[in-house]
Amino acid sequence: MILLKKILDVGLRKGFYKEHPVGLLKKLPIEKAKLNYWTVKEFKHFLTLFTNDEYNIKLLFTVLFFTGLRLGEALALTWKDIEFSTNTIHVSKSIYVKKGEEHISSTKTKAGTRRIIMNTKLVETLEEWRQTQHERLKEFTTNLDDLQIFQNSPITITKDSIEKQYKKILQRDSSLKKIRIHDFRHSHASLLINQGEDYLVVKERLGHASITTTIDTYSHLYPSKQQKLADKLDDLL
């Protein structure tokens, strides 16, 4: 492509054409990938697919849906990151995979380090799970608050294990629309938008570095304001 441009540049200088051929080319329109997400109804159906032994994983996906956390951020959480008195999750780190091994590091951007306020029911559910987990694992460790929040055995939970288990759970009902784990973030954003929240709230909860990212990704989910404007103009007549 670079060689072709150089050849055309020479042709322009020698007067073979008046305009640079490259300038006449039109860029192909870039189609945005369609967002895939679940409604609340679809998510509730998903929860019915879990067995009692999978309660901790069920809780993990509930947190993802109602907070917009990335999977790596959720798995990096310990009880020290939860402030129950203010219903707050403090997000400051994430699990990432490098050469097949998992590591914990700080969030990639300043915006990624954030506070997320949880709804009361979710907080109460986490408090109940904390007591259950501590009873179950107290014989294995004295540092219970250093446990992964969703851990239910002495073995830590990995991203790979969650992804494999998620696929198995989805196979239990072929009628349920298939989405990726990352699409739980889109599901949360859709939930916020349907509740009337603006771009800034979505940006803050998802930890986007730029409001542009939020607008580019979710602007089409916002209802058009033109009808409201038309109604206001009618009131002036």
Q: Over the chain (237 residues), what is each successive 10-residue block's mean pLDDT?
A: 60 63 57 84 98 98 98 97 97 88 82 94 98 96 93 95 98 97 97 93 94 92 74 77
Which residues have C-beta within 8 Å of that of residue 202, sequence separation ≥ 6?
A: 189, 192, 193, 208, 214, 218
Query: How high is the pLDDT of residue 110?
Result: 83
* DSSP state at residue 52: G
User: Tens of pLDDT along 147-185?
Assistant: 999 999 999 999 999 999 999 999 999 999 999 999 999
The whole-angstrom separation of Cα 125 and Cα 115 is: 19
Q: Is the Cα dihedral 182, 188, 189, 190 positive or negative? A: positive
Residue pair 68/116 in contact (Cβ under 8 Å)? The answer is yes
Residue pair 81/92 in contact (Cβ under 8 Å)? The answer is yes
Closest CA to 217 of 178, 188, 186, 192: 186
Q: Taking the CB of residue 20, how many other CB atoms lie within 10 A of it?
A: 13
The whole-angstrom separation of Cα 70 and Cα 152 is: 20
Instruction: State the residue for tokens 């790979």.
Output: 160
Class of domain 40-216: mainly alpha
* DSSP state at residue 236: T
Strand partners, 105: 94
Residue pair 236/139 in contact (Cβ under 8 Å)? The answer is no
Residue pair 78/147 in contact (Cβ under 8 Å)? The answer is yes
- Using CB atoms within 10 Å of the CB of residue 206, give its burial: 0 to 12 exposed, 13 to 18 middle, 19+ buried: buried
- Token duo for residue 19: 């305009």
Q: Which residues are catalytic?
A: 70, 108, 182, 185, 208, 218
At residue 167's C-alpha, the angle toward residues 123 and 89, to 5°, is 20
Query: How high is the pLDDT of residue 228?
Result: 72
In sequence order, what DSSP letters do the residues of 73-142 get, joined into one string?
HHHT-BGGGEEGGGTEEEE-EEEEEETTEEEEEE-SSTTTSEEEEPPHHHHHHHHHHHHHHHHHHTTT-S
Query: How high is the pLDDT of residue 83?
Result: 97
